[in-house]
């Protein structure tokens, strides 16, 4: 019997793809049935995601800290759960696998040690739920699509499978496959259902995305060259030595064991190797220690200066010698791989100057596709930085933290300034996304020393919250543009005006989401930005000051846009109909979430994210003196 969590996570990933395949059973004339089928498929995916949330909360509730708060136990951290699952599977007689640790591993392509490995924590799970919600509402928003309905809906559902797969993957190869799976559906959605210049926008999207994908591929190959034998369960090493000895009996078993190399795409293992290399490169190799158990209980007698990374049973001196002899322990390797990972994910964030594909893609894409692009796909860039780039190459990340933060600040200010000069409603929101996602990069880069890790935790908490908040507000604002475009058939801000009179409900809901995007206290946009400001100020006031000042620019272009679209009188808009029930159903959940997460941010920040971010910080902060 498969593990329960393996079943749930696999259904969560592949249910949209199965529903996409089911669309081809419908006769071509049954477009209404296709729409309902896709809607129920997306709703089912959201339901499964919420069931996984309940299961994950049960895991947290079973492991309480000394203060009775969930999620801070060492047993709930994703890296420890992944280590335990790998250790159980590596035993000569595998132990009974844990069905509710929400980590699942199965061999996939054994010759390269590639695994079908999935797992959830407070960093990935909010983004999975956000994805399921945005895709569901985007499909509801797509009911006015008349051309090739079957192909359109199938591509959106296939896109959802790729996104959720990337958020849940614990194996770099699986992550890369899911990451690249999104390329084709988005290219076709923009190229076939987009505006007049759709072919150029789709081609530009593909070129930029492929550039990022190539960077990730080269980084993945470089990381696979790392011999991670001292960071995996030693039962696996012994088994490989025994297999080698059986094939070559003339080679002594001890010699065979010394020759064993373990190459992996596993994020957790690569992260441990990267952290060990960071200690060596920063002159702290004496702090490297061997774990006494796969998952170690906190002990008051432990030496706080020691960082236990080597697997239980490893000879420390031999392991250290093997580590220092590898390219991963060189500054050149660390800089090179981190640069590749950063560029690969920066294209998706996107950061300046790799952002120019985004305005073109948004302008030409249909409204529901823009909702998914802004609300979900951009988050893969930030998620990749926090899940892959920083943990796998922490030494380079620490050395370049200030410059990475500067890139974030440039994106914040540049995006806001350019947005002020736009007259196309969609293009303005596209540059607004560039600005808002810059806060994510700045928050992640606010890396202080181990003694000041609390401030960095605020920055990472803010980056995570900002991704969810921007996913809500950006998706909603692009839908708002779509509503008025369906009535006016243009997006020129200078030709709008007076929408408050004929469409009061539309104007009221829009006001909530405009002010949330602006970062008004009491709404979701404020919480993430405030946490980022706190982290950035304690990291570098020189970076924090322009980021804080950008709030004025954001308020300026959003308020000016609000005035041009909704205030005054305009004969051309006075007869526009109010929101339809379908349009209200799309917009109302976004408005409620914008208010709810702003008034009670602890629902997301402290209950979901912070425990996992705290574990992430505990791993990373000690690496910097």
Maximum pairwise Cα distance, the chain: 92
Peptide bond before residue 353 is cis, with ω within 30 degrees of 0: yes
pLDDT of residue 70: 46
Q: How many residues does the chain have?
A: 625
Give residues with Cβ within 8 angstroms of 611, minimum separation 6.
Answer: 60, 70, 71, 72, 76, 122
pLDDT of residue 402: 93
Cα–Cα distance, 487 to 496 (Å, whole number) = 11
**Comparing C-alpha atoms, which of 492, 511, 489 is closest to residue 500?**
511
CB 624 within 8 A of CB 398: yes
Bridge partners, 107 (sequence order): 115
| Strand positions, DSSP E, 236-337 | 288-290, 307-310
**pLDDT by 10-residue block (mean), the chain, 625 residues:** 82 95 91 93 96 87 57 73 77 64 88 91 93 96 87 95 95 94 91 87 91 94 92 84 77 74 91 93 89 79 79 88 92 95 93 90 91 93 94 93 94 94 92 94 84 85 94 95 90 88 92 93 92 91 93 92 89 88 93 93 77 87 75
> How many whole angstroms from its chain centre is CA 44?
22
CB 194 within 8 A of CB 152: no
Dihedral angle sign, alpha carbons of residues 551, 556, 557, 559: positive
- pTM across the whole model: 0.93
Where do the H-state alpha helices sit in 63-102?
Answer: 78-90
Q: Collapse the DSSP code of 475 into the 3-class scheme (helix H, G, I; strand E, B; otherwise coil) and give the result.
A: helix
pLDDT of residue 387: 93
Q: Collapse the DSSP code of 576 into the 3-class scheme (helix H, G, I; strand E, B; otherwise coil) and give the result.
A: coil
pLDDT of residue 93: 59
Using the CB atoms, write b or e for 495-508: b if 16+ within 10 Å: ebbbbbebbeebbe
DSSP letters along 382-402, please? HHHIIIIIHHHSHHHHHHTHH
């Amino acid at each position: 019997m498969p593990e329960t969590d393996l079943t749930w996570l696999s259904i969560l990933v592949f249910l949209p793809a199965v529903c996409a395949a089911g669309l081809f059973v419908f006769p071509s004339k049954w477009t209404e049935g296709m729409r309902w089928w896709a809607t129920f498929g997306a709703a089912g995916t959201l339901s499964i995601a919420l069931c996984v949330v309940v299961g994950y909360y049960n895991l947290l509730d079973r492991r309480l800290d000394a203060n009775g708060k969930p999620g801070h136990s060492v047993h709930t951290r994703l890296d420890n759960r992944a280590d335990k699952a790998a250790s159980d599977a590596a035993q000569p007689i595998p132990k009974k696998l844990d069905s509710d640790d929400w980590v699942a591993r199965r061999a996939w392509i054994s010759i390269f040690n590639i695994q079908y490995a999935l797992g959830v924590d407070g960093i990935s799970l909010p983004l999975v739920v956000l994805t399921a919600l945005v895709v569901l509402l985007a499909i509801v928003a797509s009911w006015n699509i008349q051309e090739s309905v079957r192909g359109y809906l199938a591509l959106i559902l296939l896109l959802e499978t790729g996104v959720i797969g990337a958020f849940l993957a614990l194996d770099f190869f699986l992550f890369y496959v899911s990451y690249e799976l999104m390329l084709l559906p988005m290219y076709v959605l923009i190229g076939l259902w987009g505006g007049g210049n759709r072919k150029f926008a789709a081609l530009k999207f593909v070129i930029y995305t492929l550039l990022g994908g190539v960077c990730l591929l080269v980084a993945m190959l470089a990381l696979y060259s790392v011999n991670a034998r001292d960071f995996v369960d030693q039962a696996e090493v012994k088994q490989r030595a025994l297999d080698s000895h059986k094939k070559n009996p003339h080679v002594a078993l001890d010699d065979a064991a010394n020759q064993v190399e373990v190459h992996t795409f596993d994020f957790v293992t690569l992260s441990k190797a990267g952290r060990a290399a960071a200690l060596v490169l920063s002159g702290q190799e004496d702090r490297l220690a061997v774990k006494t158990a796969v998952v170690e209980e906190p002990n008051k007698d432990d030496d706080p200066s020691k960082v236990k990374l080597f697997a239980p049973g490893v000879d420390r001196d031999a392991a250290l010698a093997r580590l220092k002899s590898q390219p991963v322990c060189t500054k050149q390797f660390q800089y090179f791989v981190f640069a590749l990972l950063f560029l690969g994910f920066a294209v998706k964030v996107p950061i300046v100057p790799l952002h120019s594909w985004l305005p073109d893609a948004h302008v030409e894409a249909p409204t529901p596709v823009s909702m998914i692009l802004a609300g979900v796909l951009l988050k893969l860039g930030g998620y990749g930085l926090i899940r892959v780039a920083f943990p796998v190459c922490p030494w380079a990340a620490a050395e370049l933290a200030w410059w990475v933060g500067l890139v974030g600040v440039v994106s914040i200010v540049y995006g806001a300034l350019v947005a002020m000069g736009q007259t196309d409603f969609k293009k303005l929101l596209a540059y607004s996304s560039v600005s808002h996602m810059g806060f994510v990069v700045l928050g992640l880069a606010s890396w202080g020393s181990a003694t000041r890790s609390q401030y960095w935790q605020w920055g990472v908490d803010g980056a995570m919250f900002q991704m969810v908040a921007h996913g809500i507000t950006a998706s909603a604002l692009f839908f708002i543009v779509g509503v008025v475009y369906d009535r006016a058939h243009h997006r020129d801000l200078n030709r709008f005006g007076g929408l408050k009179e004929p469409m009061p409900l539309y104007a009221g809901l829009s006001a909530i989401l405009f002010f949330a995007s602006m970062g008004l206290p009491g709404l979701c946009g404020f919480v993430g930005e405030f946490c980022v400001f706190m982290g950035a100020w304690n990291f570098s006031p020189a970076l924090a000051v322009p980021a804080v000042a950008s709030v004025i620019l954001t308020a300026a272009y959003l308020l000016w846009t609000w005035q041009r679209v909704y205030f005054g009188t305009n004969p051309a808009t006075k007869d526009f109909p109010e929101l339809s029930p379908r349009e209200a159903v799309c917009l109302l959940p976004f408005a409620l979430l914008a208010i709810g997460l702003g008034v009670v941010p602890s629902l997301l920040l402290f209950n979901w994210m912070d425990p996992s971010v705290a574990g992430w910080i505990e791993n990373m902060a000690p690496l910097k003196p």
